[in-house]
Structure formats: structure tokens, C-alpha cells
Chain A
Amino acid sequence: MQTNIILSIAKKEIMDNIRNKWIILVSVMFALLTLVVSYFGSLASRGWQDLGFTISGMANLVTFLVPIIALMLAYATIIGEIERGSMNSLLSLSATRFEIIIGKFLGLAGVLCFTIFIGFGAAGLMIAANVSNVNYADYGIFIGATMLLGLVFLSVALFFSTIFNKRSTAMGGAIFLWFLFNIILPIVFIGLLATTIDITKFAQGNTIVVPDWYQALNLFNPTSVYSSLLTTSIGPVSSMSASSMIPAPSWYSSGLLIGVLLAWIIVFFALAVWRFQRKDI
């Protein structure tokens, strides 16, 4: 393994995405959304809300938006290059498949994290300048958790870009993934839950005891894990998404949730490497 080859490939991915300019657009969009949520997000009062409030307002938006961006960045990174025909030359230059894929992952991860950092960071600073009690630590955790969520989707998308033989199918796969984790899984899990507990009690506003298996099941949905991670490390943040209507159980710890997100990243990256090694170019 040669680090300079990996770095060259990572650098290439970064330059490509900077040239595409859409990454700048995404950063600006993140910043604007955050500011809008902070300023107009509260029905009770007009004006800037503190960062804690902003985080809770943003959490749901993030679970929708960040996966889209990660998927768009990575869904075609391998198959696109194979389809275009440039993978041939890259592989003939004694760059190994592993060097290529890790270089691409690092480059794209850099782009994604940079976008999140700049977008949310800029907005955070503007809000901090306008409110009195600023909790930078919580906001930092929010940015970090958001990056982790993004990397999970990046890793899954990277895997998808190695299993399909056409860019267009990979795109379909990426869209399906987004629906799976944001819509389908939460509904299925809630449906499963509804068959086992009396949901009417819940509708009446009573707190109910959620079985552990449901909480365990939710660990298989990275967007739920992300919401729970914000709850366990910052405090209750989300009041809207279906999966987080239910309070996180005591056995959820930040460490466990971070571990789960990291496991997602590692497992799918490993699967992507494995698939790419076997792929005919």
C-alpha cells in the first residue's frame, strides 16, 4: 500500500467536487437552513434561538438532507469511473484496487465533512453572535454526529457503487436507500411495535414502556441512531420523527451509538472493498 497514491486519488476526488461547485452550494444551503430554523423555527417567539434549540430543529432536517448529499457524492464513484472507462488506466498504473477505493473514500469523506463543518459552522457562529448563552460543546457534538451520519451513508453508497454494473442502477439503489432509512424502516418498525403494544394509550399522551427489541431494532437504522445519539449526548432534541417519539432507553449510551455508527461505516467499507476486488472492469 502506498500512501502517496491514496493521497493523489483522494486529492483528485476533492478537486473534482470543488470544481463541480455544487458542494459550495450545499454548504451555503446548510448555513441558510440552519439560520432559517434558528430565526423562524420557534412559533412562540420571533428572533434568534440559542444553539440548543437550533440543534433540535435541525436534527430532523439533517436526517433527510445529509444522507442525500452523501449518497449523491458516492453512489457512482466506482461504477461511474468503470463505465466512463478511466478505471482501466488507473488500475494498469499499478494502483491497487484497495488504494483506489480507500483514496476515493477519504477524498469524498473530506468533501462531506468539510461541507458539514463549513455550512453548520458558519451558521453556528452567526447564531452565537446573536444569542447570549452559547454552548459550543453541544453544537460541536451536533456537527460531529452529523459527520458520522454522513459517513455511514457515504460508506453504504460506496458499496452500492461497487455492486451495480451501471451508473443508472446505482442511482436507483441510492434513491432506494434514502427511502429505506428515512421512510420504510421507521414505518416498518413502528408497525411492528404497534402490533405488540396498545397504541391508543400512546395517542392519549400516556408514556408507554417500549420493549427492548424495538430499541434494538432501531440500531439498524442509522438515522434513528443519529437522533438517539443527539438525545443521549445533548438532551432530547427531536420531537417530530416517528422513531424518536419514543424516548431512548437507559441502556443506550453515546458510546454504544457512536460504536454502531462506526460499525456501519467499517462494515460497508469492507464490503465495498471486497466487491471491488472481485469486480471485472
Chain B
Amino acid sequence: MTTQLVKCPTCKTTITVSGEPGEKIFLTCPQCNQKGAFTIPGEKSAKTMVTNSATIEVNGLTKSYNHFTAVNNVSFTVKKGEIFGFLGPNGAGKTTTIKSMLDLIHANTGTIKINGIDVRTHGKEAKKNVGYMPEKVAFYDNLTALQNLRFYAEIKHAPKEECIHLIEEFGLGDTGKKRVGKFSKGMVQRLGMARAILGNPSILILDEPSGGLDPRGVVLIRDKILEMKKKGTTIFVSSHILSEIQEICNRVGIINKGVLVAQDTVEGLSKKLNLKPQITVTIDSMSAKIENAVKKLLGVDSVKTQGNTLEIVCDGAMKAKVILAISTAGGNIQNLQTKEPSLEEVFMRYTEA
């Protein structure tokens, strides 16, 4: 990552840009809204691409159960320090992919590298800095939360004092002598997250971490994920809670029927699908003049009116111009709502039958 200072060509304001060498960054000047592009100087090196930017590389992964192909030629990369959301309908092959990534199940073909180390041939080294939360979180039922974590700390070579802190942090401090077998689903889930981050791993692989959690638990897990990201942890997370994924993930991959159908940022995917934001404007009195003023604008896809309300679908960059056009045409704006294209729409479009 390189950081560079550039001057806006029109108003000469200094702007900070950062990115990989060779990367083209698109900017908007905060002062005068002048748009421009800037390429970070330096050679785009192949080495940085592999060792610095990709911490999980999955290449051509295929896994069949008997004759059923659960995961079919899936390839993706997770870059260092990012949160990668892994989405797909039930039975799409998410858990199968994740288990193959850790060599818990043996893939038929494909290579999986974690920090550049092949998981299938050098599993021990590759998994050294990985924290994993399985879909079905399970512990030793006859042991307490602390006894369980201590056992895992021993195997992970994590400091034992960490266990008690984690138990407190995840709101399980008052479970004391209670055996994990008597825990509620949500308590087990929290302990599962605690186990995953035990020993401060540099890579976290989470398979539906908020399954079965109450809203407070969901927030707790999400905050933990963000906290780990701040520490520089690379996070791979599968989830069905799309709003949450949209909120926290840098990039997402969508798998459908065993095939990876998309891999990009949410905006990137919306753009590919040509999904546009929707603006709902309520004015004090509707007139044909106002409606036409909006319809005339370039980049406005559709305008629907209903009483005093206009529903406008337009390019993201046109939003301000639409509002301006309404005002200029005499519309007195009383209420305004904008809806960005949601991950849900993206998901639905990529996974439709």
C-alpha cells in the first residue's frame, strides 16, 4: 500500500490517495467536486499480487459427494486485510467450499493456498494462523466454557490467560461451572466465535457466525468482526444476513448450485447488473411540468408518479441533478428518500433459477 499526495487541478486542494503501485484511483475533489483519476506510481509487481494481496487463493476447486457435484470449479481470492462475504442459497456449496479450504474434506481437484502455503500438502503450516468457526459449532459438552477454551488454547499454543478474557468479552462470564452441554444455542455460538479468535489469528474463516443469535448477539459478532479487521485480520465470512454483509464486507462472492457466479464489490456487482438507485420525492403539488423536467434528464431511467410522489430510477451520479430539476420546475420538496441498489437485489438476480 502506498500513500500519495495529489493537488486538485482546478482548486489546488491537496488530496491524499492510497493504493497499490500501478493502481488507478478515481477521485472527487472534496472542495470543488472536480472528478479525476490518478495512477499510483510504481510497477505493478506480480510478487506483491500474490504474497501481499492474496491471503486465501482457491483455484479450480471441485468437490463431489458420490456422483453429486456440490462445488464445481470454484476459484476466488481473498485479499489481505479485507472482509470477504460468501453468499449463496441453502445447499449452494458454501460449507463444502469452506471445509475444503481447511482440508476437513478432501477436494477432488483444485488448489487452496492460505498465505501462499498449500493447505492440502502442508496443512499444518497453512492452518497455523487460521481461526475457524464451523457452521455447526460444537464443544465438549461435559466441560465448562473455560475448560473447553483452555484445551483449544493448549493445541493452538495460545496464552491460557486469553481464555478467561474471551469468555468475559463474549458475555459468558457468569456461566462458571455450567457445562457447555447445558448452554443455549446462542451461548454456544458466542463461545464458537471466542474459540475462532483465540490466539489472535491472521485469517478468520466464519461459516454463518450469527446463526441462532439474538439481535444483541448479532451485533456482538459483527463488532468483533470489525474489531478483528481493524487489527489487520483477513476475514472470510459466509452468511445469509445480506444487510449485514453489505455493511461490513469489502467484496462478496456468490455461489449458486456449486458454481461461483460473481465475485466483486457490492457496487461493482450492482453496476454489472445495471442496478440503479431509486429516489422517492414528495412535493407539495404535482404538475406535468415537473414530471417532464425529470424525464428529460439524461441518465434517468424511469419516472413514476402517484399523487404528489415521484419514484425515479436514475444513475447514481444523477441524483443531485434530479432534485435540482424538480426544484427549478417549481416543485417544493417535502420529503426525500433514496434507496441504493441492495445486495439483496444483486443476490436475487445472480441466484435466480
Contacts and interface: CB of A to CB of B under 8 A. Distances in A.
A16 B154 contact: no
Given A89-B132, A280-B105, A281-B105, A94 B151 contact: no
A84 B123 CA distance: 23
Interface string A78-90: 0000001111111
Contacts of B106: 278, 280
Question: In the complex, which of the residues A85, A86, A95, A278 has the most CB atoms of chain B within 10 Å of its own CB atom?
Answer: A86
A183 B102 CA distance: 44
A5 interface: yes
B155 A281 contact: no
A94 to B, nearest CB: 4
B138 A84 contact: yes
Contacts of A281: 99, 104-105
Interface string B113-138: 00000000001111110111010111
Nearest to B157: A4
Contact of A91 (B104, B126, B136, B142): B104
Contacts of B127: 92-94
A201 interface: no
Interface in A88-111: 88-96
Interface string A60-88: 00000000000000000000000011111
A86 B138 contact: yes
Given A12-B151, A281-B104, A92 B140 contact: no
Nearest to B133: A89
Given A91-B104, A92-B104, A281-B105, A8 B154 contact: yes
Given A92-B104, A92-B130, A281-B99, A86 B140 contact: yes
A85 B180 CA distance: 14
A12 B128 CA distance: 21
Interface residues of A, number: 23
Given A95-B155, A280-B104, A280-B106, 15 more contacts: A4-B154, A5-B155, A8-B151, A12-B140, A12-B151, A19-B142, A84-B138, A85-B137, A91-B103, A92-B131, A92-B132, A92-B134, A93-B127, A94-B123, A281-B104
A87 B105 CA distance: 12
Interface string A171-189: 0000000000000000000
A100 to B, nearest CB: 10
A100 B73 CA distance: 31
B152 interface: yes
B138 A93 contact: no
Contacts of B130: 92, 94
A77 B194 CA distance: 25
28 contacts: A5-B155, A8-B155, A9-B155, A85-B134, A85-B137, A86-B138, A87-B104, A88-B104, A88-B136, A88-B138, A89-B138, A90-B155, A91-B102, A91-B103, A91-B104, A92-B102, A92-B104, A92-B131, A92-B134, A92-B205, A93-B152, A94-B123, A94-B125, A95-B155, A96-B124, A278-B106, A280-B99, A281-B105
A127 to B, nearest CB: 36
Contact of A93 (B103, B142, B155): B155
Nearest to A277: B106
Nearest to A2: B124
Interface in A1-59: 4-5, 8-9, 12, 16, 19
B122 to A, nearest CB: 10
Contacts of B138: 84-86, 88-89
B139 interface: yes
